[in-house]
Amino acid sequence: MVGSGRRALVVVGASAGGIGSASHLLGSLGAKFPLPIVVAQHLDPTHPSHLVEVLARRSALPVRLLEPGGPLEPGVVYVVPPGHDADVAGDVVALTPRERPGPTPSIDRLLRSAATAYGEGLIAVILSGAGTDGAEGAAEVSKQGGTVLVEDP
C-alpha cells in the first residue's frame, strides 16, 4: 500500500483516558513514518487542551493542531481541536464546530468520511476507553477495505 503510490492515511480515535496509549503509539513511530496521522480524542471543549504538546513530547514526528483546508502531509500528526467534528475529503480535513456542547468528537463521523476518501488505504486505530464512538466507523473502514486495529484494554 505505502510503496505502491496509493494514498494512505492513519486515523487514531481515543477516549479522554487515551492520552497514554496515544503517546505510546506515536512514540513508537520513527521520524520517517510515511503517512499523515489524524488523532481525534474525546475532549471537553470548555477546557484548554494540551494534547498537541503532550503528544509532541513523545513523538519523533511533528504534531500540529488540525487547521481546516490545509493538505495532509506525510509524516505529520494532526490533532482534531476540541469542540469540532472532522470530515476527510481527499487530502484535506474539514472542521465543523459542533452544534451541541459536549466532550465527544464524532470518531465515527471521521472514520466514515476517511473510509470513503481512502478505502483500502486507511488504517484506523481505536484506543480503548468508555463508550462506543468509533465502533460504527470502524465497521465502515472494514467494509471499504481499510485496516482496523483495536487496543485490547
What confidence tens digit (pLDDT) does each residue in 22-80 have?
Answer: 999 999 999 999 999 999 987 666 767 888 999 999 999 999 999 988 899 999 999 99
Catalytic residue among 15, 21, 59, 113: 15
Catalytic residue among 21, 42, 84, 108: 42
| Nearest alpha-carbon partner for 88 in 37, 41, 129 | 37
Query: DSSP string of 16-64?
Result: GGGHHHHHHHHHTS-TT--S-EEEEE---TTS---HHHHHHHH-SS-EE
Catalytic residue among 85, 87, 108, 133: 133
- Looking at residue 50, what is its pLDDT? 86
Confidence band of 130 (pLDDT split at 50, 70, 90) = low
SS3 content of the chain, % helix, strand, coil (to 5): 30, 25, 45
Question: Taking the model in full, what pTM does it have?
Answer: 0.90
Confidence band of 104 (pLDDT split at 50, 70, 90) = low
Maximum Cα interatomic distance, the chain, rounded to a whole number of Å: 43
- Looking at residue 2, what is its pLDDT? 44
CA dihedral 83, 147, 112, 41 (to 10 degrees): -10
Q: List the chain domain ranges.
A: 2-8+15-124
15 is catalytic: yes
42 is catalytic: yes
Range 2-8+15-124 classified under CATH 3.30.390.50: no
